[in-house]
Amino acid sequence: MDRNKKKLFWLVLAGLFCIVFLTLLTISFYGYVLEKIGVEYAENSRTYDRYFVMIVGNTESQFWKDTYTCVREEAAAQNAYVELKGTSQSSSYTMTDFMDMSIAAKVDGILLECTAEEALEGKINEANEKGIPVVTILNDAPKTGRKSYVGINPYQLGQEYAAQIWNILPKERENLRITVLLHDNAIDSNQSQIFSQINNLMV
């Protein structure tokens, strides 16, 4: 009888040990997951008044990552949520697909980098017809029903480029030659303005 009691005691003890071990393992893993997704989890658990979508050509670009961070913070201050969608190395969706998804979801508005992708301008008009305002960013689509366009000021951008070039030049700056690569589109007034400002500040 004593022998059976000892076996039962060790079985119960082993069971309790397994339960405690599994509990600690689960808590540890849960904490790790929360740490990884903490910011997004906290943000998604909040209720917002409005929902917007930002669609860009390359979500891996540092420019768009920084831009989205600023847009998201400003939107949150206005009790609105902005979701970033766009092409990436792991995405099989096109920007037109993301426009279709956003229109189907009846979002409150769309921020769109208008690229040369076919059918994109048609999707802007479709969204507009369904009461979803579209604001084009960086690249415009003036012949569509977009509500507004937000772009880069080429004058200031040219000055900023010139300042950056000046900072990386060696102290001995005589007889230096600088090459500026431009698009082959001769009617692009923006790049012409950028080049003019770089040239003016470098001479």
d(CA 110, CA 117): 17
Contacts with 60 (C-beta within 8 Å, 6 or more apart), sequence order: 88, 89
Paired strand residues for 136: 112, 149
For residue 153, how many other CB atoms are within 10 A of its CB?
A: 12
Q: What is the pLDDT of residue 197?
A: 84
Tokens describing residue 170? 């060696």
0.75 exceeded by pTM:
no
Q: Is 158 exposed, middle or buried (0-12, 13-18, 19+ CB in 10 A)?
A: buried
Homologous superfamily of the 50-150 domain (CATH): Response regulator (3.40.50.2300)
List the alpha helices (DSSP H) in 89-153. Answer: 95-104, 120-129
Give the rounded percent of residues in the chain with a pLDDT score beyond 70.
87
Of 1-5, 9-13, 65-69, 94-98, which range is least confident? 1-5
- Which residue did the predictor score with more confidence, 112 or 44? 112
d(CA 123, CA 55): 12
With contact defined as beta carbons under 8 Å apart, do 148 and 125 qualify? no
Q: What is the pLDDT of residue 163?
A: 86
The phi and psi torsions of 81 (rounded to 5 degrees) equal: -115, 135
pLDDT in tens, 125-159: 999 999 999 999 988 888 899 999 998 778 888 88
